[in-house]
Structure 1
Amino acid sequence: MRLSSIAIISATFGVAAGLCLIAAGFAVNVIQDNSELGVRRALDGRELHWAEVHADGLQVFLTGTAPSEALRFAALTSAGTVVDAARVIDNMTVKATAQLTAPRFSVEILRNDSGISLIGLVPASTDRRDLLAKLSSLAANGNVTDLLETADYQVPDAWEDSLRYALKALKSLPRSKVSVAAGEVEIRAMSDSDQDKRKLENDLKRAVPGDVKLVMEITAPRPVITPFTLRFLIDADGARFDACSAEDEESRTRILAAAKAAGVEGETTCTIGLGVPSPTWAEAVEKAVAALAQLGNGSVTFSDADITLVAAEGTVQGLFDRVVGELENDLPTVFALHSVLPQPKKKDAATEVPEFTATLSPEGLVQLRGRLNNELTRTAAETFAKARFGSAAIHNAARLDETLPASWSLRVLTALDGLSKLSNGYVSVTPDLIILSGKTGNTATSANIARLFAQKLGDKARFDLSVEYVEALDPVASIPTPEECEAGIGEIVKTRKINFEPGSDKPDAEAAAILDDIAEILRSCGEMKLEIGGHTDSQGREEMNQALSQQRAQAVLNELRARKVLTGSFVAKGYGEEQPIADNGTEEGRDANRRIEFHLIRNEPAAQPETTLENAEQTAEEELQPETDQPVDPADAAKDGGSNDE
């Protein structure tokens, strides 16, 4: 009985345990299936179809190859929203990705009176100590602030050329910001004047390497114009400005419009500067120019708020009175008008008008003739002329005349001062009028002389200026472009061969004169990148021809250097027999193939790839892909022909 009871109890527990195991297994299968299905749906909902799901009991295994680390993490996150993250087993792999693109190396260099600051990212191989040493010599008190970071990546093409050029440019840029990237330099700077701006822009353009793109923005501050001067005249040559000043763009536009209405043709300029005597300046100029146009001939000169209107001799008195009266009433209250109607001089043989003249020749010789009122004035005139023109260039043939007016000395010295601003010219001084004419290489000379005369002689002084701008005399504009230099050398070597002694790299006797002419062109060209290419015919061994062509190209470079040509940016390259221009089967062809060529190096900079780094905070759904710019194909270098005998 007792045994039966125990067996029954045991059986009951056994059956219960079996039922529990069956129920547990069934529950596990249900949980497993639901987990796998739920995770699958979550992955599909986020378009992560590449991920495979397999559940084993309570564990969920994720397999497959993720396109990126971000998407692998996205799959884990998606599975974690369905089941406990501890149950998710990551057996996924990540597709191999291309090497991360190198960061975009760049440096911003700020230079001002306080020193120099550096900020940016440079390659780890950059010699920062040398860089800082070079900048310290330029910085005020050697003060250089280094905020550079480094990255250990391969140095991109043209980086060294760009940085080297930026440091060179910075020497002439005391107030500037220079941004440097591989193959590109951006310069923003200030110059002291418009003339300095033009020269600076020209120098920077000439020095830029062929593989560097230059972006420039050079500004010149508004000059302080004292006195604030404007001179407009109408004569037989037409209407024109000798000097024009305006306080802003709007004022300049109004003044130029009034001048065109009065008969000015073609392009004309008006300097924007500081020092305007009244905000109604443009209004006063408009009215004065219109009044002169009514008279038909004459001049109107503004010196600050003083206006002098001089009509042409022979103007009808009634017309003059009406025009001047209307102008006096219309002018803004600040301005004062002085009007002059010259009266015809009576012809009297006994009356002689005293005169002083000075002539400046293109060679710099100065002749002084006419009359001076005393010994003191003569000494002052000689001393002033020697200071302005050079002591060895003065020939004084003026005589003394004590009857001259008291203002004669001032008029003479002012006239000489005006003449000194010309490259060559002539000035005549009489008691009533100063006439100055000549040529200059500075577009602002006429305005500067008009301002000088108005300031020194007073607003009522009469003077006549005829100043011609000649581009060939302009120290900036007269410099030929690199293309013009290349063409000039090309014209020489087309008709005159640079010959060498047979089998040698020594130029023959006749080559010296050719090299002299080429050197003369190059000395006037400034800095530019030039290749001197040596070529041979096909006779002899190829290796020997290659070496000989290199030696001859280098010999030409050395000859130019000996003639004081700046050759730091020149390259000598031997091409051997690789580039024939004629048939090597004939003597004439071989003679043509033995040559020296000169051509500019015109490589265009290649665009650099943009930096792309993965952002750890970016949402897991976004796939990061490196971006690169397409490289720009370099332009073919143009060549001018040349030749040399072997």
Structure 2
Amino acid sequence: MTSAGSREPGGASGLGGDAPRRWRWPLAAGLALWCLLAGVMLLTARDPIEADLDAVAADVLARTGESWASARFEGRDATLEGESLAEAARVKVRESLENTFGVRVVHDRTTLLPERRPFTFSAVKDARNIVLDGYVPSAEALARIVAAARLGGETVTGQERLVRARGAPPGDFASLVLFGLAQLKKLPSGRITLADGAIAIEGRARDLASYDALSEIMHGPLPDGMTLARFAVRPPVASPFYWSAVREGGVVRLSGFVPSATARADVAATLAVAIPGTGITDDTRLADGAPSTDLWLRAVRFAGQMLAQLPDGRVTLSDSSIAVEGAAPGFAAFDRLAAARKTPPEGFQVTRFAVEPPRAVPFTWRLERSADAVGLQGFAPSDDARRLLLDAARAAFPGVPVTDGMKLASGGPAPELWVSAAGFAVAQLARLRTGSADIAGTQVTLAGEALDSSAYLSIMQAAKVPPAGVTAVATAVRPPAISPYVFSVRREGGELTVSGFYPDAAAHAALAGALERDFLREKVNDVSSIGSGAPDGFVAAALAGLLQLSRLGSGELSLVDTQLRLAGSTLAPGAVADIEAELRRTLRPPFAVDTALEALATGPAVDAASCGRLVGELLGRGTIRFAPGSSEIDRRSRGLLDRLVFTLKRCPSAAVRISGHTDGIGDAEFNQRLSEARAAAVLAYLANAGVASERLTAAGYGAGQPVAPNDTEAGKALNRRIEFEVKERAS
């Protein structure tokens, strides 16, 4: 019997009994291998599926325009992540992904960003540093903003403070920020601020060109979604802060700087009121550096008031200085301008006043001195010239009030020439008691009464040598008024002393000529002075008195107004009566004559030789003159003849020979007769005066004994002579 556990090769029982045991291992191994292969197949097939789904999901998200979201796959299951700006966007993204072919499940892990109202962003620039702050709608926007901020090499900080949030204005917020950053970088320092879509920019421009360009951009068309909230960029500082207004008829042209747009409008309004009816061309630019706007606008109003008086003029403000230029249309306008310049607005001063005054034709000026005041009238060419004249007048008349009635005018000489002429006039007027100095152009006319004789002579001398540029000096200056009018000549000891006054230079010359001619070259001590107030006929009366004084040995002639007095001693007998008669015959009323004359006793006797020497000395000092072509003795020779009489009486024993000589004019016979007649006339005069006629002889020699050539007037005068020969008479 075979047991159940026996195996027999090739039997059926092998399959039912031992067969399972033989095949179990290979079967298990195959199953495991199959599972492994299936797993490998599953694993190797999953990567392409996920990659395909990632690409499909990215494309879907891009098409939806929601770049904030991203999808991650495990097999066909998607996990959606990101920070959404709106709930609708989350739904839109989720639904778009769920509807994508191949996606089995979408797990939504997105979040909703916090909302910020207002949605703000700011950037502050300081040199090369930029600090960021505020909100951004996405990481992508943040990255774009930071990259733009760094462009150009700036150092950027604060990006960690840029918080993603909802509430950004519609559109591309990052583009708005990039526009603002581009403008900020044009400033050396500044700030931009975006609140929703409104931008504010502040800072200081590098220069006027960049300021103007930035202002034009910010006030022009802005990117979509952006409005200008505030433009607070300050223009560069202008130094000096310059502003100019030029009026040319009906147009006022403005240039330079204004502190603000508001101030520019205020300027236009101010000028429209000050100068109604004029057009305004405004080329001013904004700049910092002005004084306070209120003070600056006051200065502009002052400029308008000045231009209102100048149809063609310019007013310039430079920092705190004001310059006014132009030509005044009339004296009233010029006076208003001159008054206004003295009261500039607070904080300003008029440093240049170059307004040409009206033209004066003729250009005249007058300085008048009364007993207690000095007045200036007429025209002056400039303020400086006027001030110099006032200073000179006050210095020349200390303690005397000086009133200024002058006006500035054009059309006259150069100021320096006018000052020279005016100073000359002041100096002369200071020598007058009362009077005036008038200047017309460069011609000076002086009139009035001199303080004294010395002052009068100084004025006359100065008038002959005026300052350079003064073309002429006319004078109507009178010497000082003298009352009583006194003139005196004293003859004593061979000298003449002249005192008192004479009316003018011609009178003085006439008197001096008589003293030299008729008084035998005696020493003259002249202490007389010029003075007005002489009575009519003074010179003739004085000359008549001097003629008779020449006949006195010693004496004095005096004139007091119209009273003539002659006192002294005569040299020849009968001279007293002759002198008195001659004076009364010569002088006419209102002159009156008073004499106190006495004959001089004969001098001590001398011998003939001494007598001849004394006679020679007399003839050496004087000449016996005759009327031309006549034997009539000139009356002006009587003084010499009386002295010859007095001398010859001192030598009664001497014989005197008188010889006459001529200059050869005419024929010889005429000259002979003339010389004889003249010698005889002298002899007769001596005899009539008391010289014994038996002592006297006379002879004429014509032109036969010349002492000098007759080819000159001086030689002829020497040849016309009377000679004396004195010698002892034969016993």
Higher relative contact order (CA 8 A, sep 6+): 1
Structure number with larger C-alpha Rg: 2
> Scaled by the length of structure 2, what TM-score is found?
0.27
Q: Give the TM-score, by structure 1 length.
A: 0.30
Higher strand share: 2
